[in-house]
Amino acid sequence: MTIRPATTADIPALLNLLKNVIPLMHETGNFQWDDHYPNETVFGNDITKAQLWVADIDGQLAGVAALTEDQEPEYAQVGFDLSQRAVVTHRLAVDPAFRGQGVAVALLEQAEQLALERGIKFLRIDTNSENQGTQKLFPKLGYQYAGEITLGFRPGLRFLAYEKKLN
């Protein structure tokens, strides 16, 4: 598996990943993503900002994550100090065909590597309250549950925020 920056050539595979992932999310009651978000424009903006990373397994796009320093203002709801720099993982997804192969772990390790390279001490992430998989994964990787938040751009949904402090 290779973790690398995404390019515009990856957009068709990213849109295909969404087609594979979103129905499974909805089956479990997780409506964090839909036909409108994320989309080609969102991924294109991430690529332009050099903050979208993909997991490539044998030439196939297995997963994606936007690794940014953009913190949602709502993170203050759980006491995160938004003046602290943090690498924040957004839009984390693994193609169902590659589940169980460590793709999400590798993408989250890339977030940690970026933080270390940039001298940043905090990793932050949030997930839909219905996403049981990530709620099990994040603590295994050293993330501490910080509390529940709402996000203005996804009204009516509940999210759980997590943070990992690096030494």
| pLDDT tens sequence across 79-130 | 999 999 999 999 999 999 999 999 999 999 999 999 999 999 999 999 999 8
Distance CA 87, CA 118 (A): 9
What whole-number distance in Å separates Cα of residue 14 and Cα of residue 18? 6
What does each C-alpha distance from 114 to 19, 51, 59 come to in angstroms? 29, 10, 23
Q: Which domain holds residue 57?
A: 2-165
Residue 128: phi and psi, rounded to 5, are -60, 145
Output the pTM of the full model. Answer: 0.93
Structure tokens at 155: 């009204």
Structure tokens at 84: 């602290």
pLDDT tens-place string over residues 25-39:
899 888 888 888 999
The domain spanning residue 148 has which CATH number? 3.40.630.30
Query: Domain tally for the chain?
Result: 1
What is the chain's length? 167
